[in-house]
Amino acid sequence: MTSNTDPAKPPLLFVMNAASGHNDATATRAAIEEILAREQRTYRIHVIEDPRHIGETARKAVEEAKARGEVVVAVGGDGTINAVANAVLGSGCTLGVLPQGTFNYFGRAHHISEDIEEALHALLNAQPQPVQAGLLNGRIFLVNASVGLYPQLLEDREAFKQQYGRSRLVALWSGLRTLLHHHRQLRITLEEGGQARNLRTPTLVIGNNPLQMEQVGIPLAEDIKGGQLAAIAVKPVGVLGMLWLVIRGAVGKLGDAENVINFSFTRLVVKPSSLYRSRRVKAAIDGETIWIDAPLKFRVSPVPLLLLKPVLQPAAQGETEENAQ
């Protein structure tokens, strides 16, 4: 750790998930230490050794950072960033991120490089900007939250990663196997703006990431940028129909499919059918599965995250957006 007293260069607390992403944690830590020592920045590194306690560890780290006037920097994939952001939201601390996961939708949407050295240099010159956060029963989500098929896809993908390693090819292979074996349909009621409608669907996804919407072809990216969330549901289809929708999503044409429902909102209540014995629902938040009490209340957080975002020139910003797509 180095030290400085420049108020324009606040101290940094790195919260790093040793088990996250495809990069070696030792190499990542070495890169952080080398660059910050060279730049004479005050910093600390907190390594999360046990991912099972990531939420509790993140909360304690943010409490320390608030007392010390530190910027909290999450180092890991979307799940790690979510855990740290959940602790940062409303704390008064500023958040920085060094994306190290498989898909890194949050970092890519905000033009933060996946290259550790490039991301670090950008972080040291970044400016804090407010960023929208979604909430599911009070829990933050930055990329998406979902129920039904999507959480099962994530659980199966994690099992495949443990066996075959972390890569986008492994994630795709796992997803195809899940689609072939998952046949359950959700029966839910959607309540928005005083109106209710019943829906039968294999999955409901609530998105808060414009880049992800653009990539699968859902025309709600601008709505998210304008302060709303995006809802995507699939009408009941067979296995072949679901596989066809996956292919359409892969080529950015999901929004044109007649079996896909999508709309934007700021508040949405989702109630499971009374046929369900349990009032607890399996959900996924930014790539991590959880059990949560129904009804499910989705909304835009009234308090934004304060995120350190790279300072981009207009020409460079256009190039970055093109590369992200």
Taking the C-alpha atoms of residue 4 and residue 81, their distance in angstroms, rounded to an integer, is: 27
Is 3 part of a structural domain of the chain? no
What is d(CA 153, CA 143) in angstroms, rounded to the nearest whole number?
16
d(CA 320, CA 83): 26
What is the block-wise mean pLDDT of the chain (325 residues), using blocks of 10 residues?
61 85 75 93 89 87 94 92 95 94 88 93 93 97 92 69 62 65 82 93 95 94 96 86 76 85 96 70 91 95 95 58 51
Cα gap 297→290, rounded to integer Å: 15
Q: Radius of gyration (Cα) for the chain, nearest Å?
A: 20
| 116 belongs to a structural domain | yes
Residue 181's pLDDT is: 67
- Asked if 278 and 151 sit in the same domain, the reply is yes
Is residue 317 in a domain?
A: yes
Domain of 114: which CATH number? 3.40.50.10330
User: 283 phi and psi, to 5 degrees?
Assistant: -130, 165
Number of Cα atoms under 13 Å in the Cβ half of residue 237 = 20
State residue 75's pLDDT score.
Answer: 94
User: Which tokens in the block code for residue 35?
Assistant: 């660059």
What's the domain count of the chain? 2
- Strand-pair category, 144-148 with 203-207: antiparallel
Contact indicator for 231, 223 with CB cutoff of 8 Å: no
- The reply to whether 1 falls in a domain is no
Crossing angle for the helix pair 239-250 and 168-181, nearest 10 degrees? 160
Predicted local confidence at residue 4, as pLDDT: 47
Contact 77, 288 (CB under 8 A): no
150: left (phi over 0), alpha (psi -120 to 50) or beta: alpha
User: Both tokens of residue 20?
Assistant: 């996250």
* Claim to verify: residue 100 and residue 164 sit in the same structural domain: no
Which structural domain range is residue 60 located in? 12-133+303-324
* 2 is a domain residue: no
Cα–Cα distance list, 313 to 316, 317, 318, 320 (Å): 5, 6, 9, 10
| Length in residues, the chain | 325
| In a domain? residue 255 | yes
Dist CA 224 CA 116 (whole Å):
28
| 16 in the same domain as 28 | yes
